[in-house]
Structure 1
Amino acid sequence: MVSDNDLVKLYSGRILALAADIPYLGRLERPTATARKRAPLCGSTVTVDILLSDGRIAGFAQDVKACALGQAAASVLGANVIGLTRVEVEKARGQLRAMLSSGGPVPDAPFAELEVLLPARDFTNRHASILLAFDATVDAMAEAEQAA
């Protein structure tokens, strides 16, 4: 049973501050690729537009309709995504997934701020929402690479 104290820890001030300040909110006018991901359990959605140049993200926008946890993850991603390759985003996503589901360590820099989501480990019903922005970014990058 989840206690009220557990929920307070889950929705900490740091998570709410990240959720309130998501970089690159909106949509790009002419993206190289777009991907939309939805978490079936909660209905959260994230749509990501990217501009890819030489295999790296040169432009990024995200439309985030998710819980505070998904918004916080999208915020950390948005703050660090410009200039990254698909391999780097996939690595961060894998580390975040491992941190949440199998007790893995906090993701490497520049994604160490995802540590704020450690209390979500016990809330498996929130994991899909937390991963949405990363999943959509990886999918958009794969689509852009295939089109190139």
Structure 2
Amino acid sequence: MTTALYNRDILRLAASIPHLHRLEGPDASVEKRSPVCGSRVTVDVVLDGEGRISALGQDVKACALGQASAALMGANALGRDAAELAEARDALAGFLGGERDDPGAWPGLDIFRDARPYTARHSSILLAFEAVAEAARRAKG
């Protein structure tokens, strides 16, 4: 691993995960695990009447990259609907996989540019976005 992979900005994000608690009575909960590294993220969501996230909770047991991703997801998920979350997940996956040059419109995801060559780290980076997109879809019904 290089120092560029775990830089100061990644470590700052990893230490500042918002909504770092489980919700009581969520509309949906989803746990995602990385078989490669063992990282795990559980996301709880409550949707409002328009199908947008009004409450979010997360339990994050992941490497610094997974924690940083959960921080970026959590900082910007409130008010988003299932389609927007799926779009963010897919854009991030495409960016990490080299299928696109940008990570999409979600704020801050360009921070993972240096992780693109490290395919073993992609699953951890994607966990929070996979979990929140699936939780929103399930909650929507």
8 A contact 1:106–1:112 mirrored in 2 = no
Q: Quick check: which one's helix share is greater?
A: 1
Normalising by the residue count of structure 2, what TM-score does the alignment of the two structures yield? 0.95
Deviations 1:52-99 (A, max 9, x none): 112100000110001100111110010000000111111111111111
Moved over 4 A (4+): none
Deviation at 1:106, TM superposition (A): 2.7
Normalising by the residue count of structure 1, what TM-score does the alignment of the two structures yield? 0.90
- 1:84-123 counterparts in 2 under 5 A? 84-109=80-105, 111-123=106-118
- 1:1-148 counterparts in 2 under 5 A? 7-53=2-48, 54-109=50-105, 111-146=106-141
RMSD across aligned C-alpha pairs, in angstroms?
Answer: 1.1
Which 5+ residue runs of structure 1 have no aligned equivalent?
A: 1-5
Deviation at 1:103, TM superposition (A): 4.8
8 A contact 1:49–1:60 mirrored in 2 = yes
Q: Which has the larger radius of gyration?
A: 1
Deviations 1:9-31 (A, max 9, x none): 00010000000000100101111
Structure 2 distance, partners of 1:96, 1:19, is: 18
- Look up the SS of the partner of 1:129 in the other structure: helix
8 A contact 1:95–1:105 mirrored in 2 = no
